[in-house]
Amino acid sequence: MLEVVEIIKQMEQGYTKPYLCQADNQEEYVVKGASANGKGRICEWIAGHLGKKLDLPIPEFEIIDVPEYLISGDTDLIIEMGVGPAFASKYIPFTQEINHTLLASMRADQLRDIFIFDYWIKNEDRKFTSHGGNPNLLVDLSNQSLIVFDHNHAFDPEFNLEDFKSEHIGRNHWFQEQMDLLVIEELKAKMRSALTHLDDILNNIPQEWFSCSTVTSSLLDTIRANLEYFEDNQFWEALQ
């Protein structure tokens, strides 16, 4: 497991109060610790793996250990970072949050796949309308490519489908095109393939994350059931 050797700074954005850190492999990571709670980090871990299996541009991520000596005596770090395994996403410099101008130049098929991915994992936290929003998408300015991040709100039991369909950043790339059966079958094949890795993904979740009060005993069973629902025709009919 990687280990944090330096806490550089707190990131300017992020409800979960992540920190930019250097690891013992000399790479920099955006680290989500205690403020992201157990469920949030479990969701990040599962969604991140599944998203990468769907070929979405999610940064490389790891589980990283936060040693006690780095946060000792700092009340904010003790509360927000905590000790032990944390979720670490590879830091990508020179990025910009997506805006309407940049959005118009992004690949339509990629935005469509992000829409389906977020629907699959019940993630409403990628809203973007004419009034703005919180899209949780960055653009890598070195190559003008998308960066998909922030899945701690995935597998939301209060997921509102109507709000999702009207506010998700990729909605137009699903609803403005007539999705033929071939596209849907291709998406289903990718999702089916991704789920063959689910047991390994779940087995590699740190046990410490399950001790948080936000994690219920049925969480993983509920997540598995949600993910398998795409095989039901009603999953797709709800998007018509």
pLDDT digits 0-9 by tens, 190-217: 999 999 999 999 999 999 999 988 899 9
What pLDDT does 132 receive? Answer: 86
Looking at the whole model, is its pTM more than 0.75? yes
What does the alpha-carbon distance between residue 123 and residue 65 come to, in Å, rounded to a whole number? 27
Average pLDDT of the chain is 96
User: And the tokens for 48?
Assistant: 């991140």
What pLDDT does 178 receive? Answer: 62
pLDDT digits 0-9 by tens, 135-194: 999 999 999 999 999 999 999 999 999 999 999 999 999 987 767 788 999 999 999 999
- For residue 25, the SS3 value is coil
Beta 95-97 vs 137-140: how paired, if at all?
antiparallel
What does the alpha-carbon distance between residue 220 and residue 75 come to, in Å, rounded to a whole number? 32
Domain ranges of the chain: 2-90, 95-237
What pLDDT does 44 receive? Answer: 98
CA atoms within 13 A on the CB side of 42: 26
